[in-house]
Structure 1
């Protein structure tokens, strides 16, 4: 096997080992919450502290994010500070050029854990060289030999790319800088060398190979201003010459041979465990990460061999190989170089091959052992994570569906042990599936490899109880067979939270209604006073005109009309106060409700505000609860009134029909088609654009504290969304606001009449015995008189306990009981229950003005034959009594 093949094999094994080890060395899996230790990284600031901070701060942050038990800091160091810091063991890691590393490796035993992959303009490289350059307008400098007697500029005597590489190249051309240059100046940074040459402070200079391209990308220089002395291979046919393919593919201008890129090295006082973690983290650094981006690199790779760097330092007799007498050695080399070259090459190649192969074999043996340990640790770690997960994990056969493996979480949640589950399938624990349905549900996993199927269902415990779960399932291989792997989450808490959220939304809507009570109360007070005035006035006039039958009839008719208006007003109050939970949608014509709401609002608006009504749509139907439509109109008009300056201005309420296509609808949950549009507009101060997007948020209000809850528009938005509708707001500051509510139109459907059929004009009579019970003496007296006129034998009682006592004494005396519901002592329903215990078939009718305790359904369940809603006319009462008695 050739050295190149050995090196590739070594690289693959090395990366495989550290990739596997990384899985089990992550902070979340292995580290305790111990106190973090400081890990200090010394970095060579080759381009100055400012650029250093920009380049390497993100690398420290990256290591901190990957290694939880240490806190990494980076410190900029000059060439001179590096050696002292390592000698004093003030650092844990260093990031320096390859020459400094080679010296510190020889003296202090530092060791490389990763080699840098540079990145410039999408080019990656793990080697670099030196560039010797001059200005493009210097035609007198065509070769390195022409530099004799010129001024030369370099970075630092210890800089590999900024001096030593070029020095070695210059010596190969017979140039000895200390003697042959007119002036040799070291600037301290690469950028300063480039600027110095371009400014004419030196005839030529040298920097590392990618500096010119990087400065050009940073728009600091133009490459057209520079000419580079090209690298000549003919002078490098020795072992010092790296693989020719690397030179062919090297993306930057070059004047010297190539050497390994900067190493990330650990000091000998740094623990091997920490070094491995750092190496793993660096190998895993993505090229698109912030750390790689800021450092202008593509990441890190396994350590390269730095033998070529050591040979360069030895050839130049520079630190740390500067202990010999440079002058004497130079004389020897000058005189005998031709004779000893062949021997050195042969010996070097032999030794290099021998040591390289020996080191590689040893590294392979170590890697193999570490890989075996890593695989063993991996299996133990995976087994632990599988078994101890709080979620349920199942592996089951794709054909038979039999469980092959289940974890403790599944056993704990289901109540089965592992042996029991090994004889079961997912169908046995899922009441929502049979075997065919389950196979059908898994279809997408068969047609799309790598896809994860997510759905919600139920699992059934051993005791028969069920609980909601969220299933994540995908196809895979296990024990050489096709399987499904499922991770199941118990979502009981989530479902309970969703239910609680829905309850809170209902409470939110109910709370908002209270904000509208003020508006409603004003309208009710006004209308009720008018109604009462009409009733009282016509009654007094009737008393004065008792002798005039014609006028008396007219006055009584007016009293009846006023009373009917009072009935309608009470119905409005009950409709408005009905709770949201009782919402019942049905097809309805919204223009009736809009007109009713506008009528009520007009009576409560101040005289300074004008309310206009424009109903263009009287035949269209929507599916809604009348209470909600009434609530929307009242809330929007109330908001419009508050938007008028000093409540002075105009409010317009409109109702129309329109068509919306898909392009006009932005909400994916709303389908195109016909809509009924409710419009409420005002000419008030408008809405500030900065808060327009927030006006539908719960509890957001622009009113003063105590004058608004911020729930009105939020509740309207919730109602509209429930009806699959759209709410639109147009507003310009100073010009007013227009709200548009669009609700889907439904087709005309056959509906029952809004009014019951008029009763027969003939009032039925009878001779049966009736017990009338009501706590209002006037009502008892009225019913007694009316029913007596119809031929019935009537007994009137104003106390429910007294009525029960009378019935208990003579249970067969009465043929029917007519009772009020809301009474002191026993309610009508409670009285009925006592009566039915004595006489189960007793005909019983209940009348009520309003009750939250009993309704038609409740009454029927108790055994009550008829449920009448007050006020009850003489004809309605007589027909109800006759209907009940005739069906006994």
Structure 2
């Protein structure tokens, strides 16, 4: 009411007492109205602070829980998403319902002790599932009371990333170990394979026209076998070093298994382990792979041998092939791309492999066997590196009932070829084609010359890349056989580069036991047809020459 109006009322009042009472009433009413306004203002401020608290908690990256005496007062939406509860389901309950039983006392102790450092426990969702949970709790004053605020973070993704990082670090560490062996192997492999060529090939050439009754037949055969075994050891070293010459072509896993079961190596193993039975389950719909039958077969032989030696007394080894569709989650576990894979699995009923050994089982020379009697200590390292070279992976499962190795190979749409056996030379003869052999080792030139001469080819020889180019300036060759690493002057890649400039479309075959991978790839891209590993047999060289001369590249 306006003061002028009040004054007019007082003028008309006949009693002073009435006037005073009226004035007091009006002032009291005004005071009450002011107090009510203050209360509303305070309520608005409180509502504002409460809304601000809600907004801040909702904006937080972590889940937020506010508790007093261990009882939940507030839960934001991120915490609801982490645990699967609605806020109204948790408010008023002990916050330990969010923690796995084994860690509840730890959380209660940290609350009572006002522990203000981050720590990790096992959280438990509404559905009972458990997960790694990080908690950062802090005591603070809220509305005049001491309460506890906890920031919560689900560590599942972080743990997975840490595991992946640790796996990559382990792979790097393993690769560095392999590299150290590779430096050693690469330094001697070229010369050693050239020496072994004589031990493997000369006996084979002498035996071609020698009757079995000849007294020198068996000794020469023994020399040849010894050379082949030595070459296998070098091949194992080079496989571990990831520098071996590998013939990659469409192969059938079932065929590789069947060939192994008919091999002298398997026959010897079966004789040495008569109480071990071999069971095979070869799926007919197993797709072809793009790989090296020699190296996959060596992996199979190593795994079967290890399995047999792991069995004490009677037992069994199971060899399986099958088609596997590897989907996203499984692909992430195996570090493979999603898609279809052909799997070669070898399981045994042995005593299993300890967790400690499983962490090192694929490392070179890590073996529980007696070196020189049971093996070289390279068997599983060869398996691991072969799978890396084939862009696949090997998975191991083991317990006290036995072990199983599963080899995952990428598949191909190409059909495997039916190859001629090494001891059948009737299909490998040439028609007088001219072949220029380029090698800095005189005895290697002699070996290649004798093999190719026996197969009906005309052979020319050059001790260096420079001499080969000079010969090509005035002559034509149907095929060049190039050593990749030569002591002086041009190497195989440089020689072939000049050869194709001189003779467009010049055909070539690489013959080497070890060389720099980029140079091999560049030579093949330039037009070379095949890469054959030294030391080679008569059948291996004859088949490779025939393929390239006839224009059939693998």
| TM superposition score normalised by structure 1 | 0.31
Structure number with higher relative contact order (C-alpha < 8 Å, ≥ 6 residues apart) = 2
Instruction: State which structure, 1 or 2, has the greater radius of gyration over its C-alpha atoms.
Output: 1
